[in-house]
Every structure is written in structure tokens, then in C-alpha cells.
Amino acid sequence: MNRFILLILMLITLNACKNEVTQKEETAKVVAVTTTNKSDYYQEAYRPQFHFSPAANWMNDPNGMVFFDDEYHLFYQYYPDSTVWGPMHWGHAVSKDMVSWEHLPIALYPDELGYIFSGSAVVDWNNTSGFGKDGQPPLIAIFTHHEPKGAADENINDYQYQSIAYSNDKGRTWTKYEGNPVVPNINKIKDFRDPKVVWNEDSKQWVMVFAAYDHLKFYGSPNLKDWTHLSDWGHQYGAHGGVWECPELYPTTVEGTGEKKWGLIVSLNPGSPNSGSGTQYFVGDFDGKNFKLDPQFAKDVPKGKGLWLDYGRDNYAGVTFSDIPKEDGRRLFMGWMSNWDYAQVVPTEKWRSAATIPRSMILKKTKDGYRVYSQPIKELEKLRGKSANITGTSLTGTLEISKNKGINTTLSEVILTAENHTANSKFGVAITNSKGEIYRIGYDAAKNQYFSDRTKAGKSAFSEKFAASIHPAPRLSTDKTIKLHVFFDAASAELFADDGATVMTDIFFPTEDFNQLSLFSEGGEVQVKGKIYELNDVW
């Protein structure tokens, strides 16, 4: 969120800061909401059916994603008193598979040091912090404290700083460290937030990265409590159309070769390719102190130009799970499926926002250099129901699927390969309803671009920024065969093209369910084959 919006929101919500008594009331209220009969929220217009969304009220960034003791934890920026942004708490949910989630009571409340902004969580396996109990490793949350009075006062700049909290009961209850903040804002930088921590096996210390307006700061610590500044990075590289937020530094290996690299994720708002909030990435090396871009990669991301994890408009502030077991080995990512351009005015009533489906991030060495591919996690396959095969069809015009194949496609997964397309064909998947509203996603051969078109997909008057144009995305792959893999939920589409080389996530708000799915090709012809699955909901 940019500073101006933050300031306005802060002014509006300043008076709403909670004292301890009302915090307890909130806990009671949230528990009540989470035990509401599932069918109540199953019915709501636009309620995601297989994406994580809060039972009620406002959510933004995913926070503190960590795997511990057979549970995936998702914490998230949460305001339990309204469907717009306000004094931030960490909401909490757990899952066995990242597909079905159980809502838990709020994990972290605002306190005298401020609201609880975005951050991360780690398992402190060796009890470096000393917060472990009975031989069990503690969970440590590392987050930004955002002090609202300071934020509202233009003479005060050091109102954001990094703090920690620990849990000895699998994240159910948390104690804030009495020595907070652990990284004070001594240079008084206004945007100084969103710490993500990783254990660096090579330098045998914890490494924290967070965003400082237009660059990143790296800190190191032996115990998660005492932090030393290591380096700064980012002024010279990547997109800078807005403020940098929610970074992550993570170790990774190149698929197939095992070569070691470090990935960097940096969210940016505004300044994304299709406007508003978006997430770019970088690939390089980290020597325990400094991050250095891969030389080839550096050429592709001079200052002002980014490479993006997702070219849609609705994947922001995403980072990856900490402590995924070695045997699993995946780098698992989730983002916030919205955009600060309109997040607070989208037409959902009881709650606002959802998370993207979890994605596995794979580092490949391509002829263009290192590239991150994102693929839907395999756990989602368990949602598959009835399916329809498309066996080598020559497509021109429209091929109705739901009607002809007798499947219910309101929630669906489409896997298509397309070959031998004519030079000017534009083809893909369309979903429609009886109101004539339509959402289309596909490939435009003349432009060598993917596109997502929500310009006629229902409600958009809530924000002139929502459906102003069709969203293009470059095709990065040069394979002859074009591969489309799309997930449709009640109010979103996620495209993983060419095995995840180009990704697009967009939300939409039809006035009636999009219950008809068709394939289309206009301006030319294409041979398609593949499979379309009905998906079950997770309730």
C-alpha cells in the first residue's frame, strides 16, 4: 500500500485502536464466527469455493506461512471489525494439505507498539532464541509493528520497526518478546517493514530481509533477538513504480542440475505490469552478507524493468512457506488475490479478499537465463470430479463444453494443449452466464501474448481501475505447443501457461454464476486437445 493510502486509512482508523478488554471480546467474536455453520458462507455470492478466505471481515497479505508438526500455518493481515483495512491483527488458519483450511482464533493483536503488519514465521529447531519449552522448538513470528499515532504525524518517520513473538503450543497462543522491537528504525525510514526470515546454513545464522521504501535491507542474527545490519540491495534494479513491500530471500536449486541459487521476491505497489500491485522476482547469489544478481538476470532487470511472478492483477504480497520438510523439497507460495487499486471496494459483503491457490515455484535455467516457473500444487488434484476429454479438435469459433459434455463447470480446471495455430488466431477458454457476461483467458498469436479479459465479466462500477482494459502477459516459452492450465473458482481465474512460465491471476464479479464454459478460436484455427474437470468445493 502506498504511503498516502496508509496515512488516510490510519487517520480513519486511529480511534479504533483496541485496549486489552476489547481484544478479549474480539477473540470471543471471532471464535463465534469461525464456528458458524459452514453452509452459511458456502452460499454467499463470490465466496471462493477452493481458495482460502476469512470467514468474515477484512484480509490482506498472507503472513507467517510455516509448516510445523504436520500442519501448514497461514497467518494473514486481518481487521476483525470491518470489511475494509484497519488496525492490523494476524488472523490464523491451519491446514493438512493447503487446500482445506480450519479457521483459528486471532494470533496477534495490536499493542502499545502498534498494529501488527506483515511478517514471517520460522521453526527455531535448535532453540537459538531460548524460547523453546520442554525440549520442543518454539515457533517464532517476526513482524512489523506499525505505530499509528506516529504514522499520522508528519513529523514522525520512525513508526515502523521489526518485532518478534513466540509460541510453544503450535501457534495457538503467542507471547510478544519483552525486548521488542528487535530491529528499531534508527535511520527513521517511513516505509520500513515486512520482515521475512530464513536460516542460512552456510553462514549458520538467521537472515532477515525487509523492505525500506525503494530497496531491501538484510540483517543477520544468531538468535532471532539480536540483529546486525548486513547490507542493502535493490536501488539499481527492477521495477520501482511504487513502494517495495513484502520481500523474501530464499535458497533454491535449479531444476534438473541441483545448482544452488538464491531467489528474491519483491512486491511493488503501484507499478505492476497491468497496473497497481504486483510481485517481481530476482535470481542471484547470497554470500551470507550481500545479494548479488546473476549477471545475465541483471541485464533483464535494469532499474525500471521487472520480471514478474504473475502478470494478472490479483496476486500480491505473496511469499513462501518456511520449514517445508527436505523430503518434500518444494518452494510453496501463496499470494493475496487482490490489488490495492480496488481491494477495499470489491462487491463482497461479509468478507473481503482471498488467497491465491498455493503454487510450487521451480527455478529453471532457460535459454534466456534463470526463470521462476509457478505450478499449482498437486494436492489440488483431489478436488477433481467428473471430466470431459477434448480429443484432437480443430477449433474455429466456439465449442460449448458444459452443455455438450454434460459437466458442471462453475468450478473447473482446464488443461489444454494447442498446436498448429494459424498466424492471427486468438484462442482460449471463455466462461459465461445467461446475463451475457463473459470472462475470457487465452493466447493471442499475432501478439505472442496471453491475455485475461474481464472487461465484460459483470460488476466493475465499484472502481474505474477494475476493468479498464484487457490484461496482456508476454509468452516466455518458445515451444511450438501452447499449454494452458486454468483454474476457475466462483470469482477468479488462475492461468499457468507453458508449465508455469507465464502466470496470470485475475478476479471477477459476475451478477450470476459463470456456469457455461466454452473453448473459442477467433481470427483463425487451432488444434486443441486436453481435459476439463469439474472441481469440488472444499467445504
C-alpha cell at 368: 534466456
Give the Å distances, CA to CA, from 254 to 261, 362, 365, 367, 378: 7, 8, 7, 14, 20
- Under rule CB under 6 A, residue 315 binds ligand FRU: no
Task: Output 144 or 518, the one with its CB closest to ligand FRU.
Answer: 144
Task: Point out the catalytic residue in the list 61, 191, 489, 506.
Answer: 61
Residue 309 as a binder of ligand FRU (CB under 6 A): the answer is no
Among positions 56, 198, 208, 246, the unique one binding ligand FRU when judged by CB under 6 A: 246
Q: How far is the CB of 209 from ligand FRU (least distance, A)?
A: 13
Question: Of these, 117, 177, 206, 308, which contacts ligand FRU (CB under 6 A)?
Answer: 117
- Asked if residue 264 binds ligand FRU (CB under 6 A), the reply is no
The C-alpha cell at 434 is 445467461
Tell me if 45 sits within 8 A of 489, measured CB to CB: no
Question: Site for ligand FRU (CB under 6 A): which residue of 118, 128, 162, 410?
Answer: 118
Q: Is the dihedral of CA 387, 393, 394, 396 positive or negative?
A: negative
Please say which residue, 230 or 317, places its beta carbon nearer to ligand FRU.
317
Task: Name which of 316, 428, 334, 318 is nearest 377 in CA terms.
Answer: 334
Residues 53, 120, 129, 144: which binds ligand FRU (CB under 6 A)?
144
Asked if 9 is part of the footprint of ligand FRU (rule: CB under 6 A), the reply reads: no
Closest distance between ligand FRU and the C-beta of residue 525, in Å? 43
Applying CB under 6 A, which of residues 61, 111, 248, 341 lies at the interface with ligand FRU?
A: 61
Rule CB under 6 A: which of 343-382 touch ligand FRU?
Answer: none
Distances (CA, A) of 159 to 85, 151, 156, 287, 486: 18, 6, 7, 31, 42
CA distance 128 to 303: 38
Q: Is 300 helix (H, G, I), strand (E, B) or coil?
A: helix
Select the residue interacting with ligand FRU from 18, 103, 193, 215 (CB under 6 A): 193
* Distance in angstroms (rounded) separating the CA atoms of residues 427 and 421: 9
CB of 318 to ligand FRU, least distance (A): 10
| Angle at the Cα of 346 from the Cα atoms of 341 and 347, rounded to 5 degrees | 165
401, three cell numbers: 463444453
CB closer to ligand FRU, 13 vs 521: 13
Amino acid at the residue 329: G
Minimum CB separation of residue 64 from ligand FRU in Å reads 12
Residue 163 lies near ligand FRU (rule: CB under 6 A)? no
Q: Hunting for cell 473458482 — which residue is that?
A: 489
- As a whole number of angstroms, the distance between CA 194 and CA 177 comes to 18
Q: Give the whole-angstrom CA distance, residue 526 versus residue 394.
A: 6
User: Which is closer to ligand FRU, CB of 128 or CB of 338?
Assistant: 338
Handedness of CA 140, 141, 144, 145 (dihedral sign): negative
Shortest reach from residue 9's CB to ligand FRU, in Å? 9
Element (DSSP H or E) covering residue 148: helix 148-152
DSSP 137: P
Which of 111, 124, 147, 194 touches ligand FRU by CB under 6 A?
A: 194
Query: How many residues form the binding site for ligand FRU (CB under 6 A)?
Result: 13
Nearer to ligand FRU, 239 or 246 (CB): 246
Closer CB to ligand FRU, residue 61 or residue 444?
A: 61
Among 10, 65, 88, 457, binds ligand FRU (CB under 6 A): 88
- Which residue, 124 or 194, is less far from ligand FRU as judged by CB? 194
Applying CB under 6 A, does 248 fall inside the site for ligand FRU?
no
Question: Does the annotation count 285 as an active-site position?
Answer: no
Site membership for ligand FRU, residue 1 (CB under 6 A):
yes
Residue 298 grid coordinates: 541483471
Contact 90, 143 (CB under 8 A): yes
CB of 50 or CB of 79, closer to ligand FRU: 79
Q: How far apart are the first and last CA of the chain?
A: 32
Helix runs in 242-339, H state only: 295-300
Give the residue, chosen from 74, 164, 216, 317, that forms a contact with ligand FRU under the rule CB under 6 A: 317
Q: How far is the CB of 28 from ligand FRU (least distance, A)?
A: 24
How many CA atoms are closer than 13 Å to the CA of 308, on its beta-carbon side? Answer: 29
Q: Residues 13-52 vs ligand FRU: string with x where CB under 6 A? A: ----------------------------------------
- Which residue lies nearer to ligand FRU by CB, 144 or 315? 144
User: What DSSP string runs through 244-308?
Assistant: EEEEEEEEEEBTTT--EEEEEEEEEES--TTSS-EEEEEEEEE-SS-EEE-HHHHHHSBTT---B
Nearer to ligand FRU, 58 or 427 (CB): 58
Candidate residues 49, 53, 77, 344; the one interacting with ligand FRU per rule CB under 6 A: 77
- Which one, of 245, 236, 295, lies nearest residue 265 by Cα? 245
Instruction: For residues 472 and 502, give the distance between their C-alpha atoms in angstroms, rounded to a whole number.
Output: 11
Considering the complex, what minimum distance in angstroms separates the CB of residue 330 from ligand FRU?
Answer: 24
Fill in the amino acid letter for 341: D
User: At a CB cut-off of 8 Å and minimum separation 6, what does 350 contact?
Assistant: 41, 44, 56, 57, 83
Q: Which residues are catalytic?
A: 61
Write out the residues near ligand FRU by the rule CB under 6 A.
1, 60-61, 77, 88, 117-118, 144, 193-194, 245-246, 317
